[in-house]
Amino acid sequence: MEDYRARYEEWLNDPYFDEGTKAELKAIADDENEIKERFYMDLEFGTAGLRGIIGAGTNRMNIYVVRKATQGLANYILKVGAEAKGVAIAHDSRRMHDEFTECAALTLAANGIKAYVFDALRPTPELSYAVRHLGCIAGINITASHNPPEYNGYKVYWEDGAQITPPHDSGIMAEVKAITEYSACKTMDKQEAIDKGLYVVIGEEVDNDYLAELKKNVLHPEAIRDQARNLKIVYTPLHGTGLVPAVRVLKELGFENVIVVPEQEKPDGDFPTVSYPNPEAEEAFALGLKLAEETGADLVLATDPDADRLGVRVRDKEGVYHTLTGNMSGSLLADYEIGQTKALKGLPSDGLLIKTIVTTNLADAICKYYGVAEYECLTGFKWIGRQILKMENEKKGTYLFGFEESYGCLIGTHARDKDAIVAVMALCEAAAYYKTKDMTLWDAMLDLYERCGYYKDDIKSVGLAGIEGLQKIQQIMATLREEPLKELAGYKVLKVRDYQKDTILDLQTGTETDTGLPKSNVLYYEMTDDAWLCVRPSGTEPKIKFYYGVVGNSLEDADAKSEAFGAEVLAVIDEMLK
């Protein structure tokens, strides 16, 4: 009998698993492929924690998998002797959020570790803030970010408020992997945990302090006072966690015309108005744009379910709405925050912008324009958080701004993850400021392009699900390593960075240097005319991603060059998948 079959039978017959789980598994008894998909592997606890389809099985999100992950985390916390500090736990609006939150809290409590549990759904950045605010050793967030509704997930944070990085990620992963019996995972009665002070509910006090920290980042309160009643903002939380904090912070700052999309206002893990709640997707803006057209709104904002990512549409003076990609909104905010800080009080000599390797080179141009340093890190905001911690520990470097292409940025250091609530606040402030100059946000974007260059960035993703998909992704990466690209869309490759091998190969000189970053299964091609291509398997979805960027001498030129480059990328992918 195949291993997956043995595991399936074990879950059916072991008294440890509840009757609801067994009933779900009995219903698929005649579907061999479904049994295989659910049991051919354990849902991998990776550097981003867990993320998977909700359901019974070792390769699904359920209370047993969550309990096992939490027992592994507890074992690691006990090993490093930090159990006295406690763990903060939050969740978003996804299905099974209450069950997974309580399951994690009671496993921690059973191990003598206090769990600070939010009384209702909260944004990811507030969980990141709470970890440091409460002096916790770790944090757990029950969320699958922008994945489709059938998914949920489990992110782990360390005491600095960032998602786990070395050595803690590998240490926790090893502890989770070492648990071979689900029944070995501890739990306890909730009332007993409360009575022993091991289950503590948190809420309003953390909210108040979090929002107070956000408001410290306002640069032009006078612009808000001047324009708050004139600026119209349409906002959608996409059925997630953003509604209360985003609307509250805007109201407290004085913005009077915040219009929430009514159909998407309430938390709902089924996300009934979208196929998946991703602010990168056009469909996420359909209702918001309709409302904006009706009301003449200046901007349309959408946060994903855990409110760490922000999508943006801005209205020009002719009434046309323009999409700002994550690279564009991040660059616009970077320019505003750094430029206005410089104008108001001057920039620190050790000021630093941090971006990921797949983020636009427009960031480099902004740094050059203002004369500030830049640090480039691996994909994932945890690496930006890690760099902030390093600067704090070494007392060297002043954080100015950090962002990544996937619609996430951080203004301030109150959190160590991307924060869409502070981004909403800052973008509305910037809109008010530019309005005092008789400029729209689109005018500000065009001005930035004129000053720093018409950079255009895009991404092609190929979904390859299941066992076969995983093999195809590995095959593509292997092929690219064996047969490196030399040219693409008329651009010559100058250097190849292989983050798995920790090498940068200069194709002109043949010399090889280190990347200086942790190892990761990523390939990056530096090309002529500041063009680039980066290939990496997604860490959270069954996809392989091809990021790329070009520079034009106008918007139209940049668009044309990007389209041609993207077509070449797709041709390369098609060839490799044959």
Residue 357: enclosing H or E segment and its boundaries? none
Tokens of 337: 């925050």
Nearest to 64 by CA among 163, 169, 219, 185: 185
Strand partners, 455: 551
Tokens of 538: 């997604």
- Asked if residue 11 lies in contact with residue 38, where contact means CB atoms within 8 angstroms, the answer is no
Integer-rounded Cα Rg, in Å, for the chain is 24
Reduced to 3 states, what is the DSSP secondary structure of residue 26?
helix
Report the Cα–Cα distance between both ends of the chain, in Å, rounded.
Answer: 33
Catalytic residue among 128, 145, 406, 520, which?
145
* CA dist., res. 308 & res. 335, Å (int): 20
Side-chain-side CA neighbours of 221 within 13 Å: the count stands at 7
- Asked if residue 568 lies in contact with residue 545, where contact means CB atoms within 8 angstroms, the answer is no
- Asked if residue 417 lies in contact with residue 409, where contact means CB atoms within 8 angstroms, the answer is no
What lies within 8 Å, CB to CB, of 311 at 6+ separation is 279, 280, 284, 285, 301, 302, 303, 304, 407
Strand partners, 54: 61
Backbone angles phi, psi at 246, to 5 degrees: -65, -50
Reduced to 3 states, what is the DSSP secondary structure of residue 117?
strand
319 burial (CB, 10 Å; 0-12 / 13-18 / 19+) is: exposed
* CA dist., res. 235 & res. 476, Å (int): 40
Nearest to 507 by CA among 477, 533, 535, 528: 528
| Cis status of the peptide bond prior to 167, with omega within 30 of 0 | yes
Q: Tokens 């019974």 identify what position?
A: 56
Quick one: residue 549, left, alpha or beta (phi over 0 = left, psi -120 to 50 = alpha)? beta
Nearest to 385 by CA among 64, 140, 157: 157
Tell me which long-range contacts 12-17 makes (C-beta under 8 A, separation of at least 24). Answer: 14/183, 16/182, 16/183, 17/56, 17/64, 17/182
Reduced to 3 states, what is the DSSP secondary structure of residue 569?
helix
* Residue 185 DSSP label: S
* CA dist., res. 277 & res. 255, Å (int): 26
CA angle 543, 301, 424 (to 5 degrees): 100
331 catalytic, yes or no?
no
Strand partners, 199: 115
Pairing of strands 115-118, 87-91: parallel
Maximum pairwise Cα distance, the chain: 73
Catalytic positions:
145
